[in-house]
């Protein structure tokens, strides 16, 4: 009986511990500005640490994908450090501007369309790999769960603009094609050929593009 009580106590402690580590810890102070000075403190914080300007400006989308992401995370706004939030502006060229399939390993994302028409979606995890997608118009909102591959594609003939909030001050981004075919050093072509059911020369050709 005593052994059973000990087991139950250990189980409850383990369960409580898992709940404790399942979310970000509560802050111990008002803010913690990310600065390079190891001797810095909250007393050194200034208004510009919590400020960013320029999200109203249309960005140049003359690139391979026809899109430009303007991030506002802890790298651009030091005052976001430890707050668990960030945002981006995304500009899309007409007729096919694409924010290519990617993931944010540390954040969920909620996106609102400001201009244009976007086809957006994400893919669920194995084994279903189900595509959940929707066509969005100005004012529409869509959520991409943390860690899942997702994309946005401009299906209209005008420029499109979206803004998104992310649940981390440093959400990270992994663009799938870049990571797989553009890693440094390159992944062995035989591995990718087998993984994607491609000829080796096709893999080498894809790797040469990154």
Annotated binding site: 99, 102, 104, 109, 150
| Calpha distance 105→145 (Å, rounded) | 10
CB hemisphere CA count around 16 (13 angstroms): 6
- Residue 45: name the closest of 58, 34, 61, 60 by CA: 34
120 three-class SS: strand
Residues making up the annotated binding site for Mn(2+) are 102, 104, 109, 150
| Calpha distance 152→68 (Å, rounded) | 12
Residues making up the annotated binding site for oxalate are 99, 104, 109
| Calpha distance 107→84 (Å, rounded) | 9
Phi-psi label, residue 148: left if phi above 0, alpha if psi -120 to 50, beta otherwise: beta
Quick one: how many helices (H) and strands (E) in the chain?
A: 4, 10
């Amino acid at each position: 009986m005593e052994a059973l009580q000990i087991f139950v106590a250990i189980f409850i402690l383990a369960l409580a511990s898992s709940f404790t580590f399942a979310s970000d810890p509560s802050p111990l102070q008002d803010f913690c500005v990310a600065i390079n000075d190891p001797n810095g403190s909250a007393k050194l914080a200034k208004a510009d640490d919590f400020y960013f300007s320029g999200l109203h400006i249309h960005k140049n989308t003359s690139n391979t994908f026809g899109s430009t992401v303007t991030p506002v995370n802890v790298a651009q706004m030091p005052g976001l450090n430890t707050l668990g939030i960030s945002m981006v502006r995304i500009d899309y060229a007409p007729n096919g501007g694409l924010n290519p399939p990617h993931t944010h390993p540390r954040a969920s994302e909620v996106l609102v369309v400001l201009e244009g028409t976007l086809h957006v979606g994400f893919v669920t995890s194995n084994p279903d790999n189900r595509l959940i997608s929707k066509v969005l118009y100005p004012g529409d909102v869509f959520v991409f769960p943390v860690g899942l591959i997702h994309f946005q594609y401009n299906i209209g003939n005008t420029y499109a603009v979206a803004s998104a909030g992310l649940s981390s001050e440093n959400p990270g981004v992994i663009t799938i094609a870049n990571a797989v075919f553009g890693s440094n050093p390159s992944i062995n072509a035989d591995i990718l050929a087998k993984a994607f059911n491609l000829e080796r020369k096709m893999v080498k050709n894809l790797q040469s593009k990154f």
